[in-house]
Amino acid sequence: MQRMFAEDTPWHVPWMREVSPQVEEVARWRPERTVFTRFVPPKRAAEMPGMWRNYYEKWNTMTSDRLGPNMIDLVPSLRALVPPARIFDKMTYSPWTSGKLHHVLQREGIEVVAITGGETDVCVLAAAVGAIDLGYEVILLKDAVCSGADQTHDASLELLGDRFSVQLKILSTEAFLGRA
């Protein structure tokens, strides 16, 4: 839910506008328990290892030096919730790679994570599978996730719901908030 996906960039995700009210509702419900992860591109492609260098050579307009720091930030309605909500920056699709987020959640005794945001077939997918690998119960809010590609969004929801049904539940925002 960052500006670089909400605004007119090559990575624009039109569906963000549709899921934003649900994402905001969940974040406002318990802002002190909300963690936003931000995908932070490098300043330049040459700074990245391996295939990430190739990736950013392809998407050179999406590097930090070209975008500027404001475009990497959360959309304003969510940024207003920080603090008490927290931000964890990541340079890969998964928020689990560095181990920092997992360490914080473990220290706080968190066993269940609810996932919202974008993109369902990239960062959301990586976050969900990583959380499953780490033993969390995962709740994916189907009306609070989005993608720039409808077909892979739908396929990702189907994959996660079918293949990981013991470890992951797919709920609507209303059903999730009604559980509390």
pLDDT tens digit at each of 180 positions of the chain: 999 999 999 999 999 999 999 999 999 999 999 999 999 999 999 999 999 999 999 999 999 999 999 999 999 999 999 999 999 999 999 999 999 999 999 999 999 999 999 999 999 999 999 999 999 999 999 999 999 999 999 999 999 999 999 999 999 999 999 986
Per DSSP, the chain holds a count of helices (H) and strands (E) of 10, 5
pTM above threshold 0.85: yes
> Is the separation of the CB atoms in 131 and 115 below 8 Å?
yes
User: Domain range for residue 126?
Assistant: 3-179
Please confirm whether the linkage preceding 83 is cis (ω < 30° from 0): yes
Name the domain count of the chain. Answer: 1
The β-bridge relationship of strands 112-118 and 137-146 is parallel
CATH number for position 111: 3.40.50.850
